[in-house]
Amino acid sequence: MSKKILVVDDERDILKVVQHGLTIHGYAVTTAPTGREALEQIAFNQPDAIVLDIMMPVMDGFQVLHQIRSNPQTAELPVILLTAKTEEDSITKGWREGADLYLVKPFEIHELVECVEALFEGNYALLPIKPSERK
């Protein structure tokens, strides 16, 4: 059975790209355009991992991550923050809130796939991948 990944982003194009990219690599992907919808989906059908944007209206990714980590039933869910926020404050806040990985937009789908694979293998660190550091 393939691993279930929930992708949360208010940008439909990002949702489509990430969903397609992860699906062709064998993952079962569901999407949510808002933080509230993500929390509802998590409660109804808990995924194996979450790819979460930070900058979303009403409830941002930090708030969603905080609620995930505050709930004993979801506290251990692996979460990748996928965001355009490159400031050190945001990276630090992501770490404090309990993100497992932090990937910076713009990104290549193979980078996200590598992050997801590393997440499931337990072989990762909380480090942003900045466009200037790409090979």
At residue 97, does pLDDT exceed 50?
A: yes
For residues 24-40, average pLDDT = 96
Domain regions of the chain by residue span: 4-133
Examine the pLDDT at 127 and tell me if it is beyond 80: no
* pLDDT recorded at residue 43: 95
Say if CB 27 and CB 115 are below 8 A apart: no
Confidence of residue 86 (pLDDT cuts 50, 70, 90): confident
Task: Please name the residues in contact with 122: beta carbons below 8 A apart, sequence gap of 6 or more.
Answer: none
Q: pLDDT grade, residue 125 (50/70/90)?
A: low
pLDDT at residue 58 in the model: 86
pLDDT at 133 over 70: no
Query: What band does 122 get if pLDDT is binned at 50, 70 and 90?
Result: confident
Task: Give the span between the Cα atoms of 52 and 10, in whole angstroms.
Answer: 10
pTM (two decimals) = 0.89
- Do residues 53 and 64 touch, judged by C-beta distance below 8 A? no
pLDDT of res. 28:
97
Task: Work out the average pLDDT over 102-108.
Answer: 88
User: Percentage of residues in the chain with pLDDT exceeding 90?
Assistant: 62
Residue with tokens 């290549």: 108
- Looking at domain 4-133, which CATH architecture does it have? 3-Layer(aba) Sandwich (3.40)
- What number is the average pLDDT over the span 55-68? 94
CA 15/CA 13 separation, integer angstroms: 5
Residue ranges with strand state E in 2-100: 4-8, 28-32, 49-52, 79-83
Average pLDDT, the chain: 88
